[in-house]
Chain A
């Protein structure tokens, strides 16, 4: 089965700084997504990462705050910009197989002080 890795697995950052999270899939997927999971909460879709073009953002999320890249079919990055304590969350990437199954990375736990 396909595997997704994320780096870093966790980080503690100062407010006002930015963090870039990397997501690597070991096989081609049709689509990649980024989710946020706030403490004790469910997963909320941030955006769909589109290969070679701008990501498609969900309501409440904007490119200036969460720039996303996907230079090829198996790699994507999410940047959390100008961070505040409210951005403390787990960020997960996922990939969609041709079968329709969506599988997830292990997540990046971000703490903003």
Chain B
């Protein structure tokens, strides 16, 4: 079974600085998707960014970008120019191609210090 590991239970960053959240996954499949979701204290899960495994180019969404290392099965999230509103739990998730099920990591709690 596929597993997703987030080795950093908590991270903190100063406002306007850059932070990187780590995620590794285990799969024998070649067709899959990876996601980062944000869950603020309001509990609403919000999709931050999505990466298709077949794409070599790293996905970016404004201040959010990923470093996708397929051979290493690593999928880290970089948040640039951190803002107070970025404070949340961040979950890395895996989806096998052809399946709609998401497998989540345990999450990383990000604190942004003013």
Contact = CB atoms under 8 A, between A and B. Distances in A.
Contacts of A101: 47, 50
A83 B46 CA distance: 29
B100 A106 contact: no
Interface of A: 30-31, 33, 41-45, 48, 90, 92, 94, 96, 100-107, 109
Contact of B102 (A45, A106, A109): A45
A99 B107 CA distance: 25
Contact of B107 (A31, A42, A94, A96): A42
A95 to B, nearest CB: 10
> Chain B: interface residue count, which band?
10 to 19
20 contacts: A31-B100, A41-B106, A42-B104, A42-B105, A42-B107, A43-B91, A43-B102, A43-B104, A44-B104, A45-B101, A48-B101, A90-B43, A92-B45, A100-B50, A101-B47, A102-B47, A102-B102, A104-B45, A105-B44, A107-B44
A102 B106 contact: no
